[in-house]
Amino acid sequence: MSVALEPDLDERVRESADRSGKTLSEWFAEAAKAKLLVELGQEAELQRKMRGLDAYLDEYESEHGAFTEDELAAASRKLGLPWPPEDGWTPKNAPKGESA
């Protein structure tokens, strides 16, 4: 693997690796792992929020009835999404618990 860095960043990375007593490979591996852990945490938080939204929408629909095609189309427009979705997914044909 080869990594190209701006000169200032290259120097700062090398200094950080030296201070921590790590090789550049060790430093980059540690940095990559930390970045992936952050991304995994963000994905987990998004999934938690989507489950909460699913529960809220299920409760709303149980009290007020299913969303109409017009309501779904209007919501899609507000979100900048195509309606019907280009891949054919709709809330009405999705398995329970599946989100967009």
Compute the 3-state secondary structure of the chain and give helix, strand, coil in percent, each to the nearest 5. Answer: 65, 0, 35
Q: What is the dihedral of CA 13, 14, 18, 24, to 10 degrees?
A: 90
Instruction: Give residue-wise pLDDT tens across range 55-73.
Output: 998 999 999 999 998 998 8
Per cent of the chain over pLDDT 70 is 86
Mean pLDDT calculated for residue range 73-99: 71
Contact 27, 13 (CB under 8 A): yes
Give residue 76's pLDDT. Answer: 86
Tokens 């629909």, residue?
61
The answer to whether the CB of 67 falls within 8 A of the CB of 90 is no
Q: Around 24, how many Cα atoms within 13 Å sit in the side-chain half-sphere?
A: 12
C-alpha–C-alpha distance, residues 31 and 43, integer Å: 18
Instruction: List the structure tokens of 95.
Output: 């398995």
Is the confidence at residue 1, as pLDDT, over 80?
yes
Q: Is 100 within 8 Å of 51 (Cβ atoms)? A: no
Mean pLDDT across the chain, nearest whole number? Answer: 86
What is the per-residue pLDDT for 22?
Answer: 95
